[in-house]
């Protein structure tokens, strides 16, 4: 313990950076545990799609969507979701909704907005389409 205190005294900036990172990890973990929106693996997403008739919402650009998307996915831009222009998605409020982006990092905002719009079961696909195609799961091209 004395070594730790000596190190912290000699390397103040490094020690503060470590404490800040530790706090951020703890906050992120706790926030994720209590969030209504859960991140699902590809296996869990497949189960939701096949057994619970989950709707997949792809928030990537139209061109990226055409290059490859999950079967029956609805392409809605994040801007449309933010404006509340949900189109055909409105009729699926009672079903699970899986929000998909390119790599799993930008789907969170759209998922939160869908949850605020009254969608009860909203999920984010872990690692997005990159993870999906990385496991050689099927993608539909075109449309």
pLDDT tens for 86-95 read 888 888 888 9
Residues 68 and 76: their CA atoms lie apart, in Å, by 15
**Nearest residue to 121 via CA among 29, 45, 28, 31:** 45
**Measured distance CA(111)–CA(124) in Å, rounded:** 7
Residues 73 and 11 in one domain: no
Q: What is the mean pLDDT of residues 104-132?
A: 91
Rounded CA separation 104/111 (Å): 11
128 & 59 share domain: yes
Q: Total structural domains in the chain?
A: 2
131 CB-side CA count, 13 A = 17
User: In terms of domains, do 15 and 47 share one?
Assistant: no
Same domain for 12 and 62, yes or no, is no
Is residue 109 a part of any domain in this protein? Answer: yes
Exposure of 16 by Cβ count < 10 A (0-12 exposed, 13-18 middle, 19+ buried)?
exposed
- Residue 141 located in a structural domain: no
Residue 5, pLDDT > 80, answer yes
Q: How far apart are CA 125 and CA 69, in angstroms?
A: 13
Catalytic residue among 101, 111, 124, 125: 101
pLDDT range class, residue 29, cuts 50, 70, 90: confident
In the predicted model, is pLDDT for residue 141 greater than 90?
Answer: no
Q: Are residues 110 and 60 in the same domain?
A: yes
Q: Are residues 15 and 59 in the same domain?
A: no
41 plus 100 within the same structural domain: yes
Query: What confidence score (pLDDT) does residue 8 get?
Result: 81
101 flagged as catalytic: yes
Confidence category of residue 57, pLDDT binned at 50, 70, 90: very high
Same-domain check for residues 21 and 41: no
> Does 22 share its domain with 40?
no
Helix axes of 2-10 and 12-34: crossing angle, nearest 10 degrees: 110
C-alpha–C-alpha distance, residues 136 and 143, integer Å: 20
How many CB atoms neighbour CB 127 within 10 A? Answer: 20
pLDDT for res 50: 94
Provide mean pLDDT across the span 7-30: 89
Query: Which pLDDT belongs to residue 143?
Result: 65
Residue 21 and residue 53 in contact, taking contact as beta carbons nearer than 8 Å: no
For residue 70, the 8-state DSSP code is -
Residues 15, 84, single domain; the answer is no
Domain shared by 103 and 124, yes or no: yes
């Amino acid at each position: 313990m004395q070594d730790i205190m000596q190190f912290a005294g000699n390397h103040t900036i490094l020690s503060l950076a470590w404490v800040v990172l530790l706090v951020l990890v703890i906050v992120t973990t706790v926030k994720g545990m209590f969030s209504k929106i859960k991140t699902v693996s590809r296996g869990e997403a497949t189960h939701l799609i096949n057994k619970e008739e989950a709707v997949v919402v792809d928030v990537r650009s139209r061109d990226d969507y055409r290059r490859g998307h999950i079967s029956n996915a609805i392409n809605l831009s994040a801007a449309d979701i933010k404006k509340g222009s949900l189109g055909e998605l409105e009729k699926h409020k009672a079903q699970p909704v899986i929000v998909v982006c390119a790599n799993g990092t930008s789907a969170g905002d759209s998922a939160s907005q869908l949850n605020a719009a009254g969608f009860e079961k909203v999920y984010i696909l872990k690692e997005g389409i990159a993870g999906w195609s990385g496991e050689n799961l099927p993608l539909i091209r075109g449309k």
